[in-house]
Amino acid sequence: MNNTKYWNRYWQSAYMCFDETLFTLEDNRSIALKAKFILENSLSGVFIDYTYSVHDSCYPPINKYFYINFNKKHNSQTTVEEKPEHSASTIILMACILMVLILLLLYTSRMNRKQDINVNILISLTSMIESEENYETELEFESTEKKHLIPKDRLKFMEVIATGCFSVVHRAEYIERHNERRREVAVKCGNNEMQNKILLEELTIILALRSHINIAKIFGADYSETNVLLVFEYYPNGNLLHFLRTHTFFDAVLQTTNNEDSNNTSTCESMLSFADLTSFSRQLCEGMHYISQNKIVHRDLAARNVLLDENLIVKICDFGLSKQVDCNGRYVEKTNVILPIKWMAIEAIEDGIFSEKSDVWSFGVVLWEIFTLGNEPYNDSVVFTKLLTALKNECKLEKPVYCTDNMYSIMLKSWNIQAHSRPTFGSLRDDLLEETNTTKHYTNTMGLKRVNVV
């Protein structure tokens, strides 16, 4: 006799890290629990398969990933109670009515949510523009009900200049309504509901931060049923990572030119001095100090998310993953989200805990990117799946070639395993200011004229 019919499974509960638990009947003696759960101690979205065989004499244990309860029940004598013929049609009719009501409720809720979003954008942008004189003078908004929103038909889209997990960025021209003046801007676009939601959250964070010289400036926004647009100031030097990779440290240039004329214009244009790298670091720290003072964690701080204007002023951008912290200065991630593991602190990878101190860790990694001229962290030294173990064993990124002992000590302090032992951005700002003052002689001794790259 086939014992399969003796199994009557009751799926009471199944909990797992960020994904569903599936189980199937394999044969008459065992059930295999097939599950996908997130890689231990990682919030990266890397998944692995797990199979657990259960015989009829035992039950699966409860563990940190999931638990599932089911009962074995002998059903060989079970009979089915006959029901009136009309019961099935009644149930179907009631189900249809319920479905229509649910759909109606969802539609109404969605329309109300869209209306609330538009109102919130209007209120936020109104507050932003009325409180910041530079926004009033630099951009003229149309005087209609949406006078503080930038209408899409006033934007002339050009090439794509960046793509990411949550948006696409276009270079564009904004044609001002009253004087037809054209302004070069960068437009961040969302094309689906998830991307739109992230962009609206980013807008909320940026408006909460107001204006700062080291944070990318937003001019306005537009919202429709299909997409969200955030309009930013355009920065011709692009992101810091690309800028570093297309330039050379002047010591390396001098060694390879065999004492040729180092004042050659083309050579100077592609060179970066130690003072330049220190300046990038100090400006970045200033911006992050301002962000932390406003009770916000960036969570995606990396050289690719830092822009440079025509005067090489650092502009922190990409606040799509940023969150406001609680009264304890922390934000705890409880959902599945793509995060940059190589830039993350141990407590963020392991427990999803983000704070100013986790941003400080990321800042240390960006310093390393700066002084290696754009190398990728842990590229060859550590296997990605073993990164957390390596970090717990105090595996550190090596000292960059173009880095002083003092600057490397700042990096090492940022990578302290204990979050409470890491410095604050205020403390790091003081250290970097001192380092800036002690490195002025680097440029003076070389006698090189700094040429900005456009």
Active-site pick, 222, 276, 300, 359? 300
Of 295, 280, 254, 255, nearest to 403 by C-alpha is 280
153 belongs to the catalytic site: no
Specify the long-range contacts of residues 232-236, CB closer than 8 Å, at least 24 apart: 232/185, 232/186, 232/187, 232/188, 232/317, 233/185, 233/186, 233/309, 233/315, 234/171, 234/184, 234/185, 234/186, 235/186, 235/307, 235/308, 235/309, 235/310, 235/315, 236/309, 236/310, 236/454
Q: Write the secondary structure of 266-287 as one string of H (helix), E (strand) and C (coil).
A: HHHHCEECHHHHHHHHHHHHHH
- Cα–chain-centroid distance for residue 332? 14
Tell me what percent of the chain is helix, strand and coil, each rounded to the nearest 5: 40, 20, 40
β partners of residue 154 = none
* 227-245 core/surface letters (b: 16 or more CB in 10 A; e: else): bbbbbbbbbebebbbebbe
Q: Do 320 and 300 touch, CB atoms closer than 8 A?
A: yes
Q: From CA 341, how far away is CA 344, in angstroms rounded? A: 5
Of 3, 12, 13, nearest to 56 by C-alpha is 3
Residue 378 gets the label, from left (phi > 0), alpha (psi -120 to 50) or beta, of left
Q: Do 453 and 270 touch, CB atoms closer than 8 A?
A: yes
Residue 15 gets the label, from left (phi > 0), alpha (psi -120 to 50) or beta, of beta
Query: Which of the residues are catalytic?
Result: 300
